[in-house]
Amino acid sequence: MKSLLTLLFVLNCWGLTGFAQKATSLHQAIRYIKLANTLREVDKSDAAINLLQRALPATKTTSLYWEAVTNELLGLSYSDLHDTTTAVRYLQRAGAQYLKLNYVASAWGVNEIVRGLSNKNLYAGIQIGLSSIKLAILKTKYETDFYEKDIKSIAEIANPSTTLFADASKGFRAEQDALRTCIDSIQRYNIPNERVFIVLSNDVREELARNPDSRRKVYDQLLRALPNSTLKIDTTLTADREAELFTTGAIPRKVWPTTSALDLGKNSTIGGYFDVGTGLGSKTFHSLNLSLGTSSFVDKIEAKRSLSMDAYKREAQRVIKTIADSVFTSGFMAGNRGLQQRNTVGIGGDIVWALVTYLHPERAGLVAVPVTMDDVNQFKRLALTDYRELTKPNLNAILAPAIRDKAEKDIMTLQSQLTEKQLIAGALWLESLMKAYSTASSPKRFVFVRNADVGWVTGKFLETINYEYESTIAKGALYTR
């Protein structure tokens, strides 16, 4: 506060003298521009605009580069004030000037800002799994060291088949219709094909590998549902690659040195971490893949039996403890030095979402929610002893209508997606994972990352953006779409 008051005092004194007038030289204009940039950082964008307007005439007659910088900062300042129309006008002007100067990195960056302000920086993903086809349309920005995903549309279309490709000879009308439904939704947002990602999940890829005779038929049938040849289906998604994409999309690069990722799915638990090298784009991913999830645990616990709930609870605790003791030996963290070195774990999956939603519905609007061992112990206890109390939290203390509405929707979705047996298995597995990760010598902070379930598509998008940037620089041309 003291430094802000000092800055404003100095600005006021300067305003009474030189800064009240238009810049008379490039040197003076640069001083205005520098101060304007500082003012934006202390939420004084209106004052920054005033200074930039005074700097602009001098830059126009002396330096195209500084004129472009001034226009860019004017655009960013108007964006701060939510005047999108004016912001886009100045930014487009700056982009054209950078391009004229052949400053392609600056031109590319400004172009991406314009796309974002114009609501064109959307991307979409369709994931074809064994039991469903998932669609996500979104855009991304940083929030509390994790990504805040602005979800425009998200859907899960259940497949009526026991498995997606149980009998290739009967055709794939339902799958084709579901895929077309997803693509129709994407086309309403005018998303360019380069930012539409369609993948076969790893479980589908493995299923097809076991049935090579049907693989080509499956590919051909699904390709017929695509409207044009520029849309492709990625059929190479391995478990390691899925883990890498999830980690890329859930954990921003700026916190890679301190944060790992973990996703508790229905049939698998994936995650990992990145080591960042010194070269451009240099990185190494270390994956964690376990074919264990909420649904697969239920199958292992029941073992083709139909257990009563009391019998299931006893067996669940025995089975998951046995598996956890086998997987997480005493040397688990010692053998995963990178995991040991990262103090924060960004964690996702329906079971963690259920914990946060049922125990802390008031946090429905937060992107990142800390999860403690006390939370997990309470979650496990209620899952084993009072499922009804757990899944019907009291929302009376939530005063904000938007937060209460979101909490209600989250509760309804979770109640339809997770059975009581899955919830019990998931709570026990989550407890085992957190105990394995967080040791006395290396305690961990666990943070639930909201919308991490669409992390893979965010990962594909971020990889595409990085490639666009690098190829733009290499070609020396502005990337436009």
Please give the chain's pLDDT, 481 residues, in tens.
Answer: 545 555 555 555 444 345 568 999 999 999 999 999 999 999 999 999 999 999 999 999 999 999 999 999 999 999 999 999 999 999 999 999 998 998 888 888 898 899 888 877 788 998 888 777 888 888 877 656 777 777 777 777 765 444 445 554 455 566 677 788 888 888 888 888 888 898 888 888 887 888 777 777 777 777 777 877 788 888 888 889 999 999 998 898 889 999 999 999 888 899 999 998 766 567 899 999 998 999 999 999 998 888 999 999 999 999 999 999 999 887 677 678 888 889 999 999 999 999 999 999 999 999 899 999 999 999 999 999 999 999 999 999 999 999 999 999 999 999 988 999 999 999 999 999 999 998 877 899 999 999 887 888 888 888 887 777 776 666 665 544 4
- According to DSSP, the residues that pair with 147 across neighbouring strands are 142
Question: What distance in Å separates the CA atoms of residue 306 and residue 84, rounded to the nearest whole number?
Answer: 60
pLDDT at 354: 97
CATH code for the domain defined by 2-117: 1.25.40.10
Compute how many other C-beta atoms are within 10 angstroms of the C-beta atom of residue 480: 11
The CATH fold of domain 240-458: Nucleotidyltransferase; domain 5 (3.30.420)
Domain covering 123-237: architecture: 2-Layer Sandwich (3.30)
- According to DSSP, the residues that pair with 446 across neighbouring strands are 345, 371
Compute how many other C-beta atoms are within 10 angstroms of the C-beta atom of residue 370: 14
Looking up tokens 């790992």 gives 260
- According to DSSP, the residues that pair with 233 across neighbouring strands are 198
Cα 124–Cα 171–Cα 457 angle in degrees, nearest 5: 15
- C-alpha distance from residue 16 to each of 3, 9, 42, 210, 296 (Å): 20, 11, 21, 79, 72
Task: Enumerate the CATH 3.30.420.150 domain ranges in the chain, comma separated.
Answer: 240-458
pTM across the whole model:
0.77
Question: What distance in Å separates the CA atoms of residue 112 and residue 120, rounded to the nearest whole number?
Answer: 9
Q: Which two tokens stand for residue 270?
A: 């994936």
- According to DSSP, the residues that pair with 170 across neighbouring strands are none
Question: What distance in Å separates the CA atoms of residue 305 and residue 451, rounded to the nearest whole number?
Answer: 34
Question: What distance in Å separates the CA atoms of residue 169 and residue 266, rounded to the nearest whole number?
Answer: 28
pLDDT at 462: 83
Q: Which two tokens stand for residue 429?
A: 């597995």
**Residue 326, Cα to own-chain centre: how many angstroms?**
32
Q: How does 208-245 read in b/e, with b if 16+ C-beta sit within 10 Å?
A: beeeeebbebbeebbeebbeeeebebebebebbbbbbb
Question: What distance in Å separates the CA atoms of residue 176 and residue 224, rounded to the nearest whole number?
Answer: 8
Radius of gyration of the chain (CA): 26
Q: Which two tokens stand for residue 135?
A: 């669609």
Residue 378 backbone dihedrals phi, psi, to 5 degrees? -65, -40
- C-alpha distance from residue 191 to each of 123, 137, 281, 457 (Å): 6, 9, 26, 14
Nearest C-alpha neighbor of 157 from the set 131, 188, 187, 191: 131
Question: What distance in Å separates the CA atoms of residue 30 and residue 72, rounded to the nearest whole number?
Answer: 14
Residue 316 backbone dihedrals phi, psi, to 5 degrees? -60, -45
